[in-house]
Structures are given as C-alpha cells and as structure tokens.
Amino acid sequence: MGLLNGKKGIIFGVANERSIAWAIAEALYKEGAELAFTYAGEILEKRVRPLAEGIGSKIIERCDVTRDEEIETLFNKVRDTFGTLDVLVHSIAFANKDELQGEYLNTSREGFRIAMDISAYSLVAVTRYATPLMAGQGGSIITLTYYGAEKVVSNYNVMGVAKAALEASVRYLAADLGPKGIRVNAISPGPIKTLAAAGISGFRDMLHHAAEKAPLKRNILAEEVGKTALYLCSDLASGVTGEVIYVDGGYNIMGM
Ligand code: NAD
Ligand code: 0WE
C-alpha cells in the first residue's frame, strides 16, 4: 500500500534529472501518486518529457509561470484529464544572473520585479487555479525556499528577498485555504548541486561550508528533500500547514 495511492499531483520545476522537483516526483510516484509535469520552455521540454514519460505521465505541458494564459490552459487540461487534484509542488526560482553578485543595494527595479514574479508571485497564481480542483477532498501544496530568506547569504541578494515574500505567502495562503482542507508548506533545503546552482560562482565552497557547519557534517541529498515532500503530501502531515521545514542537516540551528 503506497502512502499516495489514488492521489493526483502536478509538479512545477523539473529541468533535468538533478532537479529537486524530480527527486520529489520520484518519491511521490514510488508511493502511488499519478503525476503531471510542466516545463518552462522548448529547450527544457527535451529533458522533461522523457523523464515524465518514464513514470507514465499523461500530462506534460509547457507552463511559463510569467504567462497567465499558459497557467489557465494548463489547469483546464488538468481538470479535463484528472478531474481533481491532491498535490501541487512548486519548485521554481529565477533572478537575472547579474542580480546574484555584488551588493543587494544595486538591485534594479526590473531585476526585482522579475525575481518576485517568477520566484514568489507564481506560487499565488498556480495555487489560485489549483484550489477549485482540491476543494472537494483537500490537498497539499509545497514550495521550495532557502535560508537566504531569513539571514543574509552573500550574493543571494534579491532571491533572498523573493524567498522571504514566498515564505510569507505560504502563511497567508495556508490561512486562506485551511478551511477548505488544503495545506500549504515550504521546504528549506541546504545547498544542492542542481542546474540553478551550477550558474553560481563559488558554489563548491558553499557546499563545503554548509557540510562543515551542519550538525550532520555533510550536505543533504535531493532524495532527502523528496522524502520530506512525501511526508508533507501524505496523511502523515494532516495537521501541518503554513510551516517552513528545514532539510539542511541542522545548519540553520547553529550559532557560533
Ligand atoms: P532547477 O534549475 O533544477 O529548478 C529550477 C526550475 O525553475 C527549473 O526547472 C526552471 O525551468 C524553473 N523556472 C525558472 N523560470 C521559470 C518560469 N518562468 N516558468 C516556469 N518555470 C521556471 O534547480 P533546483 O535547485 O532544483 O531549484 C528548485 C527550487 O529549489 C527553487 O525554488 C530553488 O530556489 C530551491 N532551492 C534550491 C537549493 C539548491 O541549493 N539547489 C536550495 C534551496 C532551495
Ligand atoms: O535558490 C537558489 C538558486 C536560484 C537561482 C539560480 C540562478 C542561477 C542562474 C535563481 N536564478 C538564477 N539565475 C540564473 O541565471 N539556491 C538556493 C541556490 C543558490 O543560489 C545562490 C546561492 C545558493 C545556495 C546564489 C548566491 C549565493 C548562494
């Protein structure tokens, strides 16, 4: 008996097999969930389609979250194919590369808008479309955040501010949707070498620093984020909403 037998979910944010979203998808699929996938554009479709087809996905759709019409088309397809929805995983973040270096002070108006739109507002947008499909039976919505939302992490800059908005959104959405039996939570992983991390100079040093400071004395694996996502999606977390759950080997608890 899988923990998610008969449950239907949608996964936003698979770019390749190293994506945190893919590790989450594998964990949910293993426990019986049927999953839909979205990709941001044509270049990523080549990566995402074979992965999704490999686990029997019937819905593999383009969805650039900056486009309301693509979100609407996607959820019409989900409604027509699945009927209802139990799980939504939001694993999307983006800021222009030049905003992730130097001083936060120099963040441009357009750079701020883009980071906020893609990394924070998109959760509100997709949640609004998912809600009618979850309202009958309840559901679980998960997003991915990072420690840079609450403490200054050099160069994370506007992404930290966008993640702070994302975490606050989790609490406001949890309050709105709790009466409908829909839970909204965030997972805050330690650094993991993914495509989004590959573009960051000095990421190797960050991995070493995180492993040294963390009580578990190692970096975490994407599969460990997958297991926490499985818990949050399942009935095991039926009383948990509005939370940020750290999967960082304990890094965030440490002072000096
Ligand atoms: P990733 O590059 O595999 O995933 C990021 C995804 O965002 C990609 O699939 C990309 O296509 C998608 N995306 C960007 N712009 C989009 C748009 N306009 N429309 C739709 N999708 C768009 O990297 P990842 O590390 O798996 O990142 C997933 C999430 O995990 C992000 O929210 C990230 O902030 C968070 N996170 C990552 C780490 C880490 O160290 N890798 C740590 C903590 C949190
Ligand atoms: O959330 C992230 C990364 C998000 C991200 C990454 C990129 C790289 C390529 C958003 N936008 C872009 N834009 C690009 O053009 N992480 C938690 C990983 C990460 O990124 C950092 C980190 C860590 C950790 C950036 C600076 C400092 C630390």
Assess if CATH 3.20.20.70 describes domain 8-247. Answer: no
Residue 87 has phi, psi (to 5 degrees) of -135, 140
Which protein residue's CA is at the shortest distance from atom 17 of ligand 2? Answer: 146
Ligand 1 centre distance from Cα of residue 196 (Å): 6
Q: 144 CB less than 6 Å from ligand 1?
A: yes
Q: Residue 200 contacts by C-beta under 8 Å, 6 or more apart in sequence?
A: 100, 155, 206
Best residue among 14, 18, 19 to mutate for probing ligand 1, ranked by most atoms within 8 Å of CB: 19
Domain ranges of the chain: 8-247
Ligand 1 centre distance from Cα of residue 169 (Å): 18
* Contact between residue 62 and residue 73 where contact means Cβ atoms under 8 Å apart: no
Q: Is 36 helix (H, G, I), strand (E, B) or coil?
A: strand
pLDDT in tens, the chain (256 residues): 799 999 999 999 999 999 999 999 999 999 999 999 999 999 999 999 999 999 999 999 999 999 999 999 999 999 999 999 999 999 999 999 999 999 999 999 999 999 999 999 999 999 999 999 998 999 999 999 999 999 999 999 999 999 999 999 999 999 999 999 999 999 999 999 999 998 898 999 999 999 999 999 999 999 999 999 999 999 999 999 999 999 999 999 999 9
Q: Is the pTM of this model over 0.95?
A: yes
pLDDT score of 179: 98
Strand partners, 140: 87, 183
DSSP string, 54-76: HTT-S-EEE--TT-HHHHHHHHH
pLDDT score of 184: 99
Ligand 1 centre distance from Cα of residue 96 (Å): 13
pLDDT score of 198: 87
